[in-house]
A and B are shown apart, each in its own frame.
Chain A
Amino acid sequence: MIPTGYAHLSALLDHQLAVYPEHRRYLEKRFAGASAEHLALTDELSGHVLRIAGDRIRTVCEDYKWMVGWTLDEELFFRRNGRYRLSKFADAYAEVYANTELMTRYVNGILASQIWWRNHTEVLGYFRDTFVAGNPKGFRHLEVGPGHGLFLYLAASSSDCASAEGWDISPASIAATREALLRMGNRSKIDLVEMDLARAPSRQFDSITFSEVLEHLEEPLAALKILHGLLAKGGRIFVNAPANSPMPDHLYLFRSPEEVVDMVRGAGFEVAGTMFAPPTGATLEQARKQLLSVSAVVIGTKP
């Protein structure tokens, strides 16, 4: 059943169904059995998405529909071959990142998926209620690859956050994050820096977010080791990566959520907590059996 009575979520649903009416069945499944707490979270996040999108909301919803169709070919390749189609960054750059129009549509689609894909919403809730809530007073925060800005906004909104930075190698991404934060009404000082992680300065942070970046890298372990060096003793890192998630620019295949946990541990972190979120309509058991995409969240520490 499509939920009602949640102002932002209802507005976003209306926009999405106006351009993608055949998605109603999926969206009913998405919200079937959702708790009041989950719906309240989704409503809050929907408000942020509506603010980020502004008068482009119809376009964002159209691009979500486009993204769902675009990724089916990757799913077909993955199911036939048991691996992602691309493994080299140069190929992902040529096919995806160098295509400005395609990237705009992709980014819009990913933004909407934070609401429509249950696992994405649950990860945001876990981030806010478990990771950020567990950070110490005065935490210095870093996010690498802030993208749509939702995680960075939630972290910087904490009254315990002393400072927040977002790093990205792409100036276009930095610009998009800046715009998103402005539209969400962020009042905190967040430094957005064009940065190649491989050339990161010697800095220390108490809290690091690394969400849906690992699977885009040829050498994800190397990136995690750099982040280990950036994390202060006693600090915490929030790593989020999907297992079995064929997308056109996914290079590194995690075949189970446990492989994400093992890699975080392999980079030198101690594992303080995990959360595995299956996709809409599936239990974790069903997702494992059918090799459906599972969001794997790991909270790592540096004692």
Chain B
Amino acid sequence: MSEIMDKVADIIRDMFEDYDGPVDGALTAEQVPDWDSLAQVKLMVAVEGEFGIRFESREINEPANVGELVEMIKKKLAKK
């Protein structure tokens, strides 16, 4: 697992304490209890803080799964 994926997985496990399933690129919000639109905002802000990046408002709900989120992070880090 990449370092980015490891850090994203840590954020997800910290946010969703009751979820003990696998956290990988295929994971979607629908598979995790309590991962609603509000949690999505909190997650993306936590990712911003962890990686020192910033999402546009329209990007907050873009990633369809954790793998797409990791790709978004990689692209933003490459532009820094």
Q: Which residues of A contact B (CB under 8 A)?
A: 25-26, 29, 68-69, 72-73, 75-76, 79-80, 281, 290, 292
Residue of B nearest to A26 (CB): B36
Residue of A nearest to B54 (CB): A80
How far in angstroms is the closest Cβ of chain A from B22? 20
Of B1-9, B40-48, B65-73, the stretch lying at the interface with chain A is B40-48
> Helix, strand, loop or mixed for chain A's interface?
helix
> How far apart sit A80 and B56, CA to CA, in the bound complex (Å)?
12
> How far apart sit A29 and B30, CA to CA, in the bound complex (Å)?
13
Interchain pairs with CB closer than 8 A, number: 29
Residue of A nearest to B45 (CB): A79
- Within 8 Å by CB of B38, from A25, A73, A75, A80, lies A75
Contact B41 A76 (CB under 8 A): yes
In chain B, residues 32-80, which have Cβ atoms closer than 8 Å to a Cβ of chain A? 33-34, 36-38, 41-42, 44-45, 48, 57, 60
Of the four ranges (under 10, 10 to 19, 20 to 34, 35 or more), the interface on chain B belongs to: 10 to 19
> How far apart sit A76 and B54, CA to CA, in the bound complex (Å)?
11
Contact B37 A68 (CB under 8 A): yes
How far in angstroms is the closest Cβ of chain A from B42? 6
Besides A72-B37, A80-B45, 10 other A-B contacts (C-beta < 8 A): A68-B37, A72-B38, A72-B41, A72-B60, A73-B57, A76-B57, A79-B45, A80-B48, A290-B15, A292-B38
Residues of B within 8 A of A75 (CB): 38, 41
Residue of A nearest to B40 (CB): A72
> How far apart sit A187 and B43, CA to CA, in the bound complex (Å)?
49
Residues of B within 8 A of A69 (CB): 37
Residue of A nearest to B43 (CB): A79
Residues of A within 8 A of B34 (CB): 29, 281
Count chain B CB atoms within 10 A of each CB in A29, A68, A75 and give the residue with the most.
A75
> How far apart sit A80 and B48, CA to CA, in the bound complex (Å)?
9
Residues of A within 8 A of B30 (CB): 25
Residues of B within 8 A of A281 (CB): 34, 36
Residue of B nearest to A81 (CB): B45
Contact A290 B60 (CB under 8 A): no
Residues of A within 8 A of B48 (CB): 80
Residue of B nearest to A286 (CB): B17
> How far apart sit A72 and B57, CA to CA, in the bound complex (Å)?
9
> How far apart sit A158 and B15, CA to CA, in the bound complex (Å)?
44
Residues of A within 8 A of B36 (CB): 25-26, 281
Residues of B within 8 A of A26 (CB): 36
Residue of A nearest to B60 (CB): A76
28 contacts between A and B (CB under 8 A): A25-B30, A25-B36, A26-B36, A29-B33, A29-B34, A68-B37, A69-B37, A72-B37, A72-B38, A72-B41, A72-B60, A73-B57, A75-B38, A75-B41, A76-B41, A76-B44, A76-B45, A76-B57, A76-B60, A79-B41, A79-B42, A80-B45, A80-B48, A281-B34, A281-B36, A290-B15, A290-B42, A292-B38
